[in-house]
Structure 1
Amino acid sequence: MRQNPSFAMTDVAELRRLIDQNPWATLVSHTPEGLVASHYAVLLDEDRDDLTIVGHVGKPDDMIHGLGERELLIVVQGPHGYISPGWYGDVQSVPTWNFVSAHLSGVPEVLTPEENLAVLDRLVARFEARMPEPRMMWERPNDPAFVQRLERGTVGFRLTPAKILAKRKLSQNKDTEVVETVITHLQADGPYANPALAAEMRRAHDAMARA
């Protein structure tokens, strides 16, 4: 991802929010056989206040990625969507795509089985808690033996990124009037309605105004 200083996203709190709200990530490794990519849910490490990420992969993805032995790139994708040139008014323009994305890379630490179980428990609790009748990992009809077998089929990891590249391209290079028009179109009914992207644009431009 090519960086542009105007679109750089460096605030740790905002990056933590991005990861927390968009946990479905892409994991990429460069192996002797070439590039490999997998997709898993990740979480921020609850014991840290930085951008350390915890997660797991199913076996044999740990061996395919060389988990713990080589660099791992984690790509987190936030709200994104098409921006029509018609929304800019009667001026020369072309379409674009607004987005928020972060690349975090480093050599991950492989978790112990006990640590991995804790991460799996957190993952289940994070998403299952929204259900009307949540089924947590250790609750019946699951028994401890079943959960232990589940853990043995996975490998947990913790990644404290050595390199972070994050970009928030949300029409920061446009006039306020144009930005407001784009937000209005994203909030309205239509083929490219995208309230989540509109909210990210509002958040970014409000921050710019405060600065």
Structure 2
Amino acid sequence: MRQNPSFALGDTDEIKRLIRENPWATIVSQTALGPVASHYPVLLDESREDISIVSHLGKPDDLIHEFGSHELLVIIQGPHGYISPGWYDANPAVPTWNFVVAHLSGVPEILSDEENWNVLGRLVDHFEDRMPQPRRMAGTPDNEAYAQRLLSGTVGWRLTPTRTVAKSKLSQNRPVETVDRIIDGLEGDGAYASPALAAEMRRVHERIRAAKDSSATR
């Protein structure tokens, strides 16, 4: 991913937040037969200070990826959307695409059956916690027995990346007035409305403005 100093995202806490809020990941490997990709939910390993994620693969995806034998790339995609030049004050202007993304690279660690069971349970709990009547993987003897039978069809893994490249391209290079118009456009009801992207832009630019105000008063 081409990096630009204006949009580089190097804050570990912000990258962790991105992972927490956007757990559906793309996993890419370069194998003997060529590049392959799969899609799985991931969880941040909160027990570790460094960025680390855990998940599982359904067999035979582990063989297709040659899992554990080489480096892979995990892509975390946050809010993104089309930005119309009609939202700029410049003329002429061209459109762009705003987005937040992180690329995590490294060799995955294959988990034991016990660790895999724990990760699967955490994944279920993570998403079921929002339900009015959460279903737990081992909530009943029947559920637990069923999940145990499925365990052999999965491979658990942990990735503590040796290289992390993250980017937050949210119009940081635009004037305040233009940013406000872009946010208004994303919050509206037009063809390219995106409340999630608008909220991310508002949060980031509020931090930028607060930092500038603090610097100006020193």
TM class by shorter chain equals over 0.9
**Unaligned 5+ runs, structure 1:** none
Q: Which amino acid aligns with 1:155?
A: V
TM score, norm. by length of structure 1: 0.97
| In structure 1, distance between residues paired with 2:181 and 2:143 | 55
| In structure 1, distance between residues paired with 2:184 and 2:26 | 31
**Unaligned 5+ runs, structure 2:** 212-218
| In structure 2, distance between residues paired with 1:80 and 1:145 | 41
Aligned to 1:178: 178
Q: CA deviation at 1:100?
A: 0.3
Aligned to 1:25: 25
TM score, norm. by length of structure 2: 0.94
Aligned to 2:187: 187
Q: CA deviation at 1:7?
A: 0.3
Aligned to 1:13: 13
| In structure 2, distance between residues paired with 1:9 and 1:152 | 38
| In structure 2, distance between residues paired with 1:142 and 1:209 | 54
Deviation string for 1:5-55 (max 9, x for gaps)? 110000011100000000000000000100000000000012112210000
Aligned to 1:163: 163
| In structure 2, distance between residues paired with 1:146 and 1:179 | 51
| In structure 2, distance between residues paired with 1:108 and 1:152 | 19
| In structure 1, distance between residues paired with 2:141 and 2:82 | 45
| In structure 2, distance between residues paired with 1:165 and 1:84 | 27
What is the 5 A alignment of 1:116-155? 116-140=116-140, 142-155=142-155
Q: Which amino acid aligns with 1:136?
A: R
| In structure 2, distance between residues paired with 1:6 and 1:87 | 20
| In structure 1, distance between residues paired with 2:209 and 2:6 | 14
Secondary structure at the aligned position of 1:205 is classed as helix
Deviation string for 1:112-159 (max 9, x for gaps)? 000000000000001111112111101237343322211111000000
Secondary structure at the aligned position of 1:48 is classed as coil
Secondary structure at the aligned position of 1:177 is classed as helix
Aligned to 1:81: 81
Secondary structure at the aligned position of 2:42 is classed as strand
Q: CA deviation at 1:90?
A: 5.4
Stretch moving more, 145-154 or 80-89: 145-154
Task: Answer yes or no: is 1:113 the counterpart of 2:113.
Answer: yes
Q: CA deviation at 1:81?
A: 0.3
Stretch moving more, 152-161 or 84-93: 84-93
The percent identity for this pair of structures is 62
Aligned to 1:198: 198
| In structure 2, distance between residues paired with 1:178 and 1:42 | 35
| In structure 2, distance between residues paired with 1:139 and 1:145 | 10
Q: Is the 8 A contact 2:80 2:197 kept in 1?
A: yes
**Structure 1 residue runs of 4+, over 2 Å off?**
140-145
Q: How many residues align?
A: 211
Q: CA deviation at 1:92?
A: 1.1
Secondary structure at the aligned position of 1:6 is classed as coil
CA RMSD of aligned residues (A): 1.2
